[in-house]
Amino acid sequence: MLTLIGIVIVVIGFVLGMNPLLVVTVAGLATGIASGLGPLAVVAAFGKAFITSRYVAIVWLVLPVIGLLERAGLKERARSVVAGLRAATVSRILLAYFAIRQITAALGLTSLGGHAQMVRPLIAPMAEGAAENQYGELPDRVRHKIRAHAAAVDNIALFFGEDIFIAIGSILLIKGFLDQNGIHVEPTQLAIWAIPTALCAFIIHGTRLLLLDRWLRTELARKQGET
């Protein structure tokens, strides 16, 4: 039971609002020592885990780059580009990103999009810019709704697109679950049958996006009428 002391340390540290990295490190050291390992062995285990999964840390290098680009005016530039496109609407921009995201996810390129690297700095500002180009200044309620739809597009396109790619964790999870219940299906069959689901997701969410344009026209026309 003493080896579970790490869980107690994590809970107490998070409740007290301490630095998560420090809490997890201390919890790992305490668990290793309680398991009979020496301090050097625990540190060696930390080093081995970091080296074998160092690709995970590479993702965090993207975040400072995105922050610098935003500080340099990436969002404003995205809005200005969309402002010059007369045919651009919120639904068309989000639907185009939905299609690109779903196709790339189906090819296994799941890291090309994402909330931090695409939605927040580019897609959401472009959608907001299209709405501002049509209706002028947007109320906060409308702006937040557009951002929510931009985030939903990324989630839904990735979720239903990645299953088409055969070498993805979700396909392996489904196959493992079916095998445990005596249903033996090849991964290729699962991937093929994910295509109709992806198409249905595109049609259904595309309809939602078109309805979003209608809602924007109604909502903003009412706001303009009140002013």
pLDDT value at position 206? 93
Q: CB–CB of 147/184 below 8 Å?
A: no
Average pLDDT over residues 38-54: 73
Residue closest to 198 by CA, chosen among 162, 170, 171: 162
Whole-angstrom distance, CA of residue 149 vs CA of residue 39: 49
Whole-angstrom distance, CA of residue 115 vs CA of residue 113: 7
What digits encode the pLDDT tens for the residues 111-161? 888 888 888 888 988 898 888 888 888 888 999 999 999 999 999 999 999
Q: What percent of the chain is predicted at pLDDT more than 90?
A: 26
Residue 145 vs residue 64, higher pLDDT: 145
The pLDDT confidence band at residue 219, using thresholds 50, 70 and 90, is confident
Residue 210 vs residue 59, higher pLDDT: 210
What digits encode the pLDDT tens for the residues 98-114? 999 999 999 988 888 88
- Rg of the chain over all Cα atoms, to the nearest angstrom: 23
Residue closest to 94 by CA, chosen among 69, 121, 70, 119: 119
Q: Where do the domains of the chain lie?
A: 2-52, 60-226
Q: Can you count the helices (H) and strands (E) in the chain?
A: 10, 0
165 torsion bin: left (phi>0), alpha (psi -120 to 50), beta (else): beta
Residue closest to 201 by CA, chosen among 146, 147, 163: 163
What digits encode the pLDDT tens for the residues 153-193? 999 999 999 989 887 877 878 888 888 888 888 888 888 98
Burial letters 19-56, b for 16+ CB under 10 A, else e:
eeeebeebbbbbbbbeeeeeeeebeeeeeeeeeeeeee
Average pLDDT over residues 39-53: 73
Q: CB–CB of 179/124 below 8 Å?
A: no
Residue 7 vs residue 223, higher pLDDT: 7
